[in-house]
Amino acid sequence: PLATLTAILMSSPSFAEPTYGFSQIGSESGWRTSETNSIKAEAERRGIDLKFSDAQQKQENQIKAVRSFIAQGVDGILLAPVVESGWDQVLREADRADIPVVLIDRGVDADPSLYLTKVASDFKEEGALAGSWLAAETNGNCDIVELQGTVGSSAAIDRKSGFDALIGNFPNMKIIRSQSGDFTRAGGKEVMESFLKAEGGGDSICAVFAHNDDMALGAIQAIKEAQLDPADDILVVSIDAVPDIFKAMADGDANATIELNPHLGGPAFDAIAAHNDGEDVPKWIKANGPLYLPDTAAAEYEARK
């Protein structure tokens, strides 16, 4: 009977939904957690079997996961590369196995022919936007401390270079201290504490530029514990637009954040499908978000929490 025939057809591999592997960096920030949840939900919505690996921030775990996905013969691989170097070999192995790799939210310095596409923001633009807001806010006069993201990550490298290039136009804007807080709240707090101490309490610090909101939230804690007023004594600008930074802005503790889209599963899955249909896929799929200020923060927090 037709029902049996359909059941048999649908169960055969060629009719089944695809199986993808997703090598995720970890859960270092609120943004990454929402990215993971969003990509898993999108796979669920599309009936995709998503094999998920959390690398706990270690590149060797990501490389192991990609090799395991290749051995399982998945139909595609999503990779959020923790750092930008050291991927050539494993990307060549995926390429030889004819498995398309989509880079998610960060880039690699490998030959672009080794991956299908990158779905990520232009971090240089984000750095420049943060810098231009700060220049306008301070009339180009500001001694800045910088909380960098994970050392070697394309997000940290490019946010720094975009910010540096922009403030380079203002002779009275300079970064007086800069160090990695590894994109975590604890890291941001710890490094900000060391900056405040090194600067004799912090009166000399005009602003903190944090490569993500989680480090900014840690820095805000440190600024308060140093008996200073975040967003007033020391301006606070960061990137990600996670709910908690909107709460901080609404509470008068932060000044600006730049939106980073965590919903990258859809574009990634669409790119693999387009590739499988023989269509051309651009090497970089990006959609930078806007800058938010305290005036809309309370509403944004309500909408996102």
List contacts with ligand GZL (CB under 6 A): 28-29, 31-32, 105-106, 120-121, 155, 183, 212, 214, 239-240, 260
Give min distance, CB of 102 to ligand GZL, in A.
Answer: 14
Structure tokens at 68: 């395991």
* Cα separation values, 85 from 94, 134, 242, Å: 16, 31, 28
Query: Under a CB-based contact definition with an 8 Å cutoff, are residues 81 and 32 in contact?
Result: no
**Whose Cβ is closer to ligand GZL: residue 27's or residue 132's?**
27
| Smallest distance from ligand GZL to CB 117, Å | 15
For residues 145 and 195, the answer to whether their CB atoms sit within 8 Å is yes
197/283 with CB nearer ligand GZL: 283
Residue closer to ligand GZL by CB (options 235, 239) is 239
- Residue 202 CB, nearest distance to ligand GZL (Å)? 25
Q: Which tokens in the block code for residue 180?
A: 């990695």
Q: Please name the residue that has the structure tokens 């908690």.
A: 244
Beta bridge partners, 76, equal: 20
Length of the chain: 305
* DSSP character at residue 289: P
Residue 228 vs 287, nearer CB to ligand GZL: 287
- C-beta of 80: minimal distance to ligand GZL in Å? 7
- The candidate with the shortest Cα–Cα distance to 222, out of 232, 214, 230, is 230
Q: Least CB distance from residue 271 to ligand GZL, whole Å?
A: 17
- Residue placing its CB nearer to ligand GZL in the complex, 28 or 244: 28
